Structure 1
Amino acid sequence: MTQTALPGAADVVIVGGGVMGTSIAFHLAEAGVERIVLLEKDQLGSGSTCKAAGGVRANFSDEVNIALGARSLDAFARFGERPGQEIDLHQVGYLFLLDTHEQVELFRESTELQNRLGQPTRMLSVEEAVALAPICSADGLVGACFSPTGGHCTPESVVLGYATAARRRGASLVTGCEVVGLDAVGNQLTAVRTNRGTVRTRAVICAAGAWSAELAAAVGVELPVTPLRRQIVVTEAIDGLPANLPMTIDFGTTFYFHREGPGLLVGMSDPDEQPGFYLNRTDTWIPRLTETMARRAPTLLDIGLTGGWAGLYEVTPDHNALIGEASGVSRFLYATGFSGHGFLQGPAVGEVIRDLYLGREPVVDISPLDAGRFQHAAARAERNIV
């Protein structure tokens, strides 16, 4: 395959070729921005995006996250027309299983907020929840929450769709090109240095996920992003799985699953996981997963595994994204730190960064997600996450 040439200059350089970077490239190019260069150190989507579970939803407790999720759901539903790519979207719903009355009250509050914002989320009885996800046991459950418009799709296809459409509109997406530094004179960016040469530019957009903190620090910008490994396994074929099995999350344990071909994609957080750029698979979390399955979905204990992978969450102190433009250096924008819900917000964030770059009022008010919030005791807690 012929390697894309590295342009010597650009109006804007995007660092990171996952869903966030490619979405930004597409939305900028669609808006008529010229000389867009996206730099990805490996292959497009090879960082966190293509290691994601692919869930899409607007079921959050924070108004900004609801708005980003809802706008993105609309974009995913129309992805075949714009930008034009089949993404295997299954809007089978998002089901949270709840095992304490405190959890029920938390989700009841967020459901009321979502309803006020136009989302059809609703609370369910235990019986209704188990009817939707019959491989689950009702033991210990006290309620559930269901979002019928949520579901899951294929992250690789989303990246491909955005990348193809961005290139068609003139953007240069350069893979195998690692950023090694940023140059500035005073507070003005002048260039991005890579292992393949230098790109002169006065605007940089950081969409580097778990690798964002080091990039931003090069120009004195603090982005408090910490890498944290999360692992996923895929099961063998399972007879009798409902075609419309929802994306299901056992909220108290973080155990989750959705259909993946004839089997299930299964994941769960590991509270013993230490921060770091660890991408190797381990078995240390499997005993906890097995224990949880025995209680919540015991029939899965008899199903073999066909594979799995490890990826990185990009975690912030309040588990909310960092989206905005730096105040200390001219034209350094960022979209990172999504703490596990970046893939599902990718379409809307691409629009937001487009608007910030062009000096427009963003389609969603993301001012509460500015990175400076931690210096002003304005952190926001998103509660509907695992």
Structure 2
Amino acid sequence: MSFSSRPSTAPAFRTLPPVADVVIVGGGVMGASIAFHLAEAGVRDIVVVECGELACGSSGKPIGGIRAHFSDPLNIELGNRSLRAYRDFPQRPGADIRLDTVGYLFVLTSERQAVEFAESVRLQNSMGVPSRMIDADEARRLCPYLSAEGLVAAVHSPTDGHARPGLAVRGYADAAALAGVRFATHTRVTGMDTTGDRVSAVHTDRGSVTCSTVICAAGAWSGQIGAMVGVDLPVRPVRRQLAFTERLSPAAPRIPFTIDFTSSAYFHNSDDGLLFGLADPRQADGFDTTWTPGWLDLFRDVVRHRAPALAEMPLADGWAGLYEVTPDHNALIGRSGDLPNFLYATGFSGHGFLQAPAVGEIVRDLHLEREPCVDIAPMSADRFRTGAAFRPETHVV
């Protein structure tokens, strides 16, 4: 499938320099975005450590949704800033990520959902996001696959869409490499040293590097990285699966990224077919990324009621990847209170790609001790210890 992520053309180093200013752990879209934004700001001696190839984890999987449709101001702002950055990606950093602004379409099947989403739409509109409530007939016009049976309302956000995460990682990494960032791929972090209240060295299976700052952007593996220095990053890995149809003839109409909110089933255009996804509520935690064709039975059972034609479409392939899930389904972004030179950006619970540009800016500013564009105090990992957790995000996919 053309969605497969190719290794970045950024130079890869199999050994580490003995000293660096910044070590970023994780070579997915978050690590690549942070590296790019730091390098763009003039930070030198940056090393990105990745245990596989760049984008080999969840960032290489092709869901690629980009939206500002959330239920709280902080996530709306992160999504909106990132959406603007992705629109500008061909100029900065300079790469085609195949952005398709087809919009998002949330399909609602209860009056309670409609009331909650209407409240979110009012908030989004107040922040410049042009989302709107629509009826079932208009939803079907936007997405002809939908059945009107049981539909109460829908929400359409026309400026949202989807892109190719692997292309974004390569775009950020290539630009960062041109600015001097070194990418140590196939390099696994095995431990870290601390001196007083600072992380002083990162150890890997290919050598050690003394550093001034460590940034954890290790996705589903972030809990393990944090534990190396006693920083609690409550992230659990949960498998998510998706599938691609065979080439469709006649071709699929251009449709929004469509989500049945009740079941979490979603679908959108993909090359010459469609992409399907669904979160299995019975999925156990773990690092298994085996794609299991039996998962399709669950998807088909759900979609027969919401978009019947999809249940009969022939499938060509599938993927499985990991969500990095926190207890309240909101990200962990901040600086350790015990180790001030240990920063983290993780736990995005499926929203990492869509928030990566804004988070790259934020972590850059944290490192440079500048005021970030938004107040990220609510996303501190300490919120679960202090009882200040978010209300769980309702618009989760």
TM-score range, shorter chain: over 0.9
Residue 179 of structure 1 is matched in structure 2 by: 189
Give the TM-score normalised by structure 2. 0.95
Counterpart mapping for 1:150-165 below 5 A: 150-165=160-175
Which residue among 303, 309, 314 is the counterpart of 1:299? 309
User: How far is 1:3 from its partner?
Assistant: 5.0
Residue 345 of structure 2 is matched in structure 1 by: 335
User: How far is 1:87 from its partner?
Assistant: 0.5
Query: Partner of 1:257: helix, strand, or coil?
Result: strand
What residue identity is the alignment partner of 2:254? N
Matched, 1:382 2:393: yes
Residue 22 of structure 2 is matched in structure 1 by: 12
What residue identity is the alignment partner of 2:270? E
What residue identity is the alignment partner of 1:112? R
Residue 115 of structure 2 is matched in structure 1 by: 105
What residue identity is the alignment partner of 1:156? G
> What root-mean-square deviation, in Å, do the aligned CA atoms of Structure 1 and Structure 2 show?
1.2
Which residue among 190, 200, 212 is the counterpart of 1:190? 200
Query: Partner of 2:48: helix, strand, or coil?
Result: strand
Question: How far apart, CA to CA, are the structure 2 residues paired with 1:197 and 1:287?
Answer: 46
Question: How far apart, CA to CA, are the structure 1 residues paired with 2:242 and 2:198?
Answer: 42
Matched, 1:29 2:29: no
Q: Work out the number of aligned pairs and report it.
A: 386
Question: How far apart, CA to CA, are the structure 1 residues paired with 2:59 and 2:365?
Answer: 23
User: How far is 1:357 from its partner?
Assistant: 0.4
What residue identity is the alignment partner of 2:78? L
What residue identity is the alignment partner of 2:163? C
User: How far is 1:242 from its partner?
Assistant: 5.5
Question: What is the CA deviation profile of residues 246-287 of structure 1, one whole-angstrom value per residue up to 9, with x for unaligned ones?
Answer: 100000010001100111110001011000111111134222
Which residue among 264, 267, 288 is the counterpart of 1:254? 264
Contact 2:246 2:273 in 1 (8 A): yes
Contact 1:52 1:311 in 2 (8 A): no
Question: How far apart, CA to CA, are the structure 1 residues paired with 2:251 and 2:145?
Answer: 8
User: How far is 1:240 from its partner?
Assistant: 4.5
Residue 53 of structure 2 is matched in structure 1 by: 43
Query: Partner of 2:146: helix, strand, or coil?
Result: coil
Residue 354 of structure 1 is matched in structure 2 by: 364
Question: How far apart, CA to CA, are the structure 2 residues paired with 1:194 and 1:110?
Answer: 45
Question: How far apart, CA to CA, are the structure 2 residues paired with 1:373 and 1:34?
Answer: 32
Query: Partner of 1:113: helix, strand, or coil?
Result: helix
Query: Partner of 1:69: helix, strand, or coil?
Result: helix
Query: Partner of 1:182: helix, strand, or coil?
Result: strand
Residue 72 of structure 2 is matched in structure 1 by: 62
Contact 2:62 2:166 in 1 (8 A): no
Contact 1:52 1:343 in 2 (8 A): no
Question: What is the CA deviation profile of residues 326-378 of structure 1, one whole-angstrom value per residue up to 9, with x for unaligned ones?
Answer: 00113000000000111100000000000000000001221110111111111
Unaligned runs of 5+ in 2: 1-8
Question: How far apart, CA to CA, are the structure 2 residues paired with 1:215 and 1:208?
Answer: 8
User: Among the aligned pairs, what percent are the same residue?
Assistant: 53
Query: Partner of 2:339: helix, strand, or coil?
Result: coil
What residue identity is the alignment partner of 2:239? R
User: How far is 1:302 from its partner?
Assistant: 2.5
Matched, 1:148 2:158: yes
Contact 2:252 2:272 in 1 (8 A): no
Contact 1:90 1:151 in 2 (8 A): yes
Question: How far apart, CA to CA, are the structure 2 residues paired with 1:3 and 1:36?
Answer: 13
Structure 1 residues 359 and 169, CA gap change in structure 2 (3 angstroms): same
Query: Partner of 1:201: helix, strand, or coil?
Result: strand
After the TM superposition, which parts of structure 1 deviate over 6 Å for at least 4 consecutive aligned residues? none
User: How far is 1:296 from its partner?
Assistant: 1.1
Contact 1:52 1:155 in 2 (8 A): yes
Question: How far apart, CA to CA, are the structure 2 residues paired with 1:133 and 1:241?
Answer: 14
Contact 2:62 2:164 in 1 (8 A): no
Question: How far apart, CA to CA, are the structure 2 residues paired with 1:185 and 1:354?
Answer: 24
Residue 6 of structure 2 is matched in structure 1 by: none
Which residue among 61, 86, 96 is the counterpart of 1:86? 96
Query: Partner of 1:71: helix, strand, or coil?
Result: helix
